[in-house]
Structure 1
Amino acid sequence: MMKKILLSLCALLPVSSFAEDQAKPPNIICFLVDDLGYGEVGVYGQKKIRTPHIDKLAHDGIKFTQFYSGQNVCAPTRCALLTGKHMGNAAIRENSSHLRGKMPQFKVYQKQDGFPGQAPLPAEEVTVAEVLKEKGYSTACIGKWGLGYPLDEGSPLKQGFDFFYGYICQVQAHNYYPRYLWKNDSKVDLPGNDRGLTGQTYAADVMREEALNYIKQNKDNPFFLYYATPIPHAALQVPEDEPSLAEYREAFGPEKPYVKGAGYLPNKTPRATYAAMVTRMDRTLGMMRTLLEDLDIDDNTLILFASDNGATFNGGYDRAFFNGNGPLRGKKCDLYEGGIRVPAIAAWPGKIQPNQTTSNITAIWDFLATVCDMTGATLPENTNGISFLPTLLGKEQPQHKYLYWESRLTKGQQVVRMGKWKGIRNNVMKSGSSTPLALYNLDSDIGEKKNLAKQFPEVVEELERYMRSARTPNPLFPMGALEKEYE
């Protein structure tokens, strides 16, 4: 109830000058892809995978070279996107399978659905969907949720979305031929699927059609579409009739098959399949943009394309073959640049000048602030984002003093990005803040190869102060030895 009261009060406050100047509220599409690395898009240097529609989006708009995900894995990034909070302030800070024994609702999920579910986004969190509903928007989430279940407060329908279609549980999203998907709070069977390697209904295709239909149905109203495609997250699966699959198989030549025993479903040509998945997803973006043009609403629609974390390491995916993270160190699950710096592109005909590149340091938790700036909504309290609307419009951009992450994975890491500097502390779970900070100058060392901590002790000291002040302990996601320092 308190959340609804705050939102209603916010709606009564004065709107921004930008929103006042708009004849009609802009439509907003967030096209979030899953595990796509920094180097896996043509305009970011990819040579083996074709992404013509993503590349055209960049040609028509603006490409970010220093855009960061919310976290190094799926669920917390989605939390950061929706709530505008970094990992020192977020309600969900990692994928939450470790909570199964502590949260009784997981047993209910397992019994009802066969999948464990994830920790619910708390009811008191204010999401971008709730903010936009107060401004008269229709809201939809189509794709992968991972922040709760229909039975609890984390349901998309209880977090501001009018419509949901897709995977509620991230674990189910490891198969593109599931027996069913969720439509709002009910299961919808997918014809011809038996949870095997193939089937008659490819989940990503059904999601695409739902998204296109949603746009058609809401062409006359302001809408927010959060399109959270599971592609290209493993398992590696794509329909055999995908035209690019045969092309990639021929181009890549004989491959070493990926076997089921290694963790995901088997695949005889994993490299070709992965590339075909990305190209098929790229085609979905193209279809979406064509529809916007056909409906004559493209010039009133902002599209933000981004990935939820860096390139992965499992399921048969070959990061070295594709140079998936380009020049960046690390991968999904750690906080080096390869885990959190991601491709991001925005286009908005008539508002964003075409063929731009920005090095502005931006994080996915800036999305909520940007949406508020665009629509005249008031930014909820205790968020960490800064609107990047000025960057989109070619105006002077306010800067973050710093960005912050923490992760319990890979023995625990803390990271602060401050201007050109990045400080990273490892082994946090065991040693807390006693592990020396490594310092990198990302302007001259994007690969984080040269530790400059000894040369710049005053920078290290400043970053360490931010590491301490940026975080609020979250009892669901304790950082081991570090927590003792906050007692």
Structure 2
Amino acid sequence: MNRRRFLQTSALGAGALIVPGLSGCAKSRRRKPNVIYILADDLGYTELGCYGQEIIQTPNLDRMAAEGIRFTQHYSGSPVCAPSRCVLLTGKHTGHSYIRDNGRAPGRPLDPTKGLFPGQNPIPDEEFTLAEVLKERGYATACIGKWGLGYKDSTGDPNRQGFDLFFGYYCQIHAHNHYPRFLWRNGEKVALEGNDGGLTGKHYSADLFTEEAKRFIRENQNRPFFLYLAYTLPHVSIQVPEETLALYKGKLPETPYKARGHYLRHPYPHAGYAAMVTHLDMRIGEILQALKELELDESTLVMFSSDNGPTYDRVGGADSAFFHSTGPLRGRKASVYEGGIRIPFIARWPGVIEPGRVTDHVSAFWDVFPTVCEVAGVPIPRGLDGVSLLPTLAGRGEQRKHKALYWEFRSYGGQQALRFGDWKAVRTGLRRPGTDTRIQLYNLTEDVGESRNVASERPDLVARAKELMLASRTKSKLFPFPEIYEREW
């Protein structure tokens, strides 16, 4: 059975998962609603003003939160880029998703000086994405920004995964430069004259993405559309236009960052990083303004989040300690402690989402797929790990809750995590000989910083966590992780 036929036959009826009283949200409008999902890259939980940031200015996202709903317990799909994006687009957590770690596609060369970027392991044709489901139902679809799930012409090419338009970076390593020599549009290389791959240039990728996104919105204003706008900000290298850098330069203490690897030097890393976040905020403001000007505000659900926690301290010049990028949370990017996976999540939909709401509902990336399906009145495919968040967004109906949220990540020592109720179970060092791999247990209500391991006090919950961890995963041939079973629990 081909994938198109699979999408037609493996779905539950849309009404089966629509909570009574909510179906009118989509059906009462003249057409199916538009959906825009905006993704930041390595943005920490408390790097927005509306989440407590005191140095970096983010007025547009703060306004978006004031006009919509802000989630305080939302989680990414993974603590690093590629698997998180796979989870987002396929609706399956890393115990079931095809991509469970970063990694270059095998057998492909890497030489940035020659413009050679290998791309990441491609998701196979057998997988189906949210974009494919929406495209089948008449949506125009676009992925603009960073992809990271396959190289050009592979099975993971975004044009083969449901997107009518792709403009951006196929490869995550290519995306480490915000003034690239070229980008890609639907398989065609787009040369960017005036960019030489250095610290500055003529064409800033985030600005190009914003213009492309506004063009896509304008061209499809008379039909339903799905825009996945995956900015590369504020991922290092630290690079930002001078006019935005000027907002912070000379106002923050600085130690120049010296180039390391393919991350570029920067004389003002604190100012540069803060400016990158503010620049992201400015461009998102342009997207929201475009919707208002085109009178698409009330027919468009806009969501914003980050793919994982902030960059580890001092890598590329980033300094999460200085900016208190995770607040009280433990860990950073590449960690399954809260700081690596708890992320901002804001949604705005005038007329549907009541302004100024804050929710502590526990949710994750794999909930986005079924949420968008329900919003669009599209049948929800079987086999997803997520649940629709529409009851929480709209403030009506009963919200289904997860029995547990699960993560596994075989890099950085090998890690597992499980959120169940107020409890968090963590295993680390699974691929490091001689480390203690027994389950750590934390009560997040009392100890959000995961500083007091109470596993010895609650053997009943440790046993329950082990049971849920084992039940939450299938084995992966691409990312084998036998240590989960072999090491001490």
Equivalent position of 1:271 in the other structure: 270
TM-score by length of 1: 0.94
SS of the residue aligned with 1:258? Answer: coil
Deviation (angstroms), 1:247 = 2.7
Gaps of 5+ in 2: none
Query: Is residue 411 from structure 1 mapped to residue 397 from structure 2 by the alignment?
Result: no
1:34 to 22, 38, 41: 41
How many residue pairs match? The answer is 477
SS of the residue aligned with 2:141? Answer: strand
Q: Give distance in 1, aligned partners of 2:332 and 2:119.
A: 25
Query: Is residue 281 from structure 1 mapped to residue 277 from structure 2 by the alignment?
Result: no
Cα distance change of structure 1 residues 198 and 261 upon mapping to structure 2, 3 Å threshold: same
Instruction: Check the 8 A contact 2:109/2:116 in 1, yes or no.
Output: no
Instruction: Check the 8 A contact 1:432/1:482 in 2, yes or no.
Output: no
2:94 to 76, 87, 101: 87
Equivalent position of 1:427 in the other structure: 429
Residue pairs, 1:192-271, within 5 angstroms: 192-242=194-244, 245-253=245-253, 255-261=254-260, 264-271=263-270
Equivalent position of 1:159 in the other structure: 161
Instruction: Check the 8 A contact 2:11/2:380 in 1, yes or no.
Output: no
Residue pairs, 1:18-417, within 5 angstroms: 18=24, 19-97=26-104, 100=106, 104=107, 106-107=108-109, 113-242=115-244, 245-253=245-253, 255-261=254-260, 264-313=263-312, 314-395=315-396, 396-417=398-419
Equivalent position of 1:5 in the other structure: 5
SS of the residue aligned with 2:466? Answer: helix
Deviation (angstroms), 1:191 = 1.6
Equivalent position of 1:456 in the other structure: 458
Q: Where is the helix percentage greater, Structure 1 or Structure 2?
A: 1
Cα distance change of structure 1 residues 11 and 481 upon mapping to structure 2, 3 Å threshold: closer
Q: Give distance in 2, aligned partners of 1:109 and 1:319.
A: 30
Cα deviation code 1:229-266 (max 9, x no counterpart): 00000000011132xx223113214x110001365100
Q: Give distance in 2, aligned partners of 1:241 and 1:398.
A: 46
SS of the residue aligned with 2:318? Answer: coil
Cα distance change of structure 1 residues 183 and 411 upon mapping to structure 2, 3 Å threshold: same
SS of the residue aligned with 1:58? Answer: helix
The one-letter code matched in structure 2 to 1:452 is V
The more displaced of 430-439 and 57-66 is 430-439
Cα deviation code 1:342-401 (max 9, x no counterpart): 011000000000000000000011000101111222222221001111100113211000
Instruction: Check the 8 A contact 1:127/1:159 in 2, yes or no.
Output: yes
Cα deviation code 1:21-77 (max 9, x no counterpart): 443201000000000000100011000000000000000000000000000000111
Aligned-CA RMSD value = 2.0
**Which consecutive aligned stretches of 4+ in structure 1 deviate over 4 angstroms post-superposition?**
10-16, 107-113, 430-434
SS of the residue aligned with 2:238? Answer: coil
Cα deviation code 1:407-463 (max 9, x no counterpart): 112211111100100000112124799821110010111100111111111111111
Cα deviation code 1:141-165 (max 9, x no counterpart): 0000000112211000000000000
Instruction: Check the 8 A contact 2:80/2:333 in 1, yes or no.
Output: yes
Q: Give distance in 2, aligned partners of 1:112 and 1:469.
A: 46
Percent identity between matched residues is 49
The one-letter code matched in structure 2 to 1:388 is L
Cα distance change of structure 1 residues 155 and 113 upon mapping to structure 2, 3 Å threshold: farther
Gaps of 5+ in 1: none
Instruction: Check the 8 A contact 2:29/2:299 in 1, yes or no.
Output: no
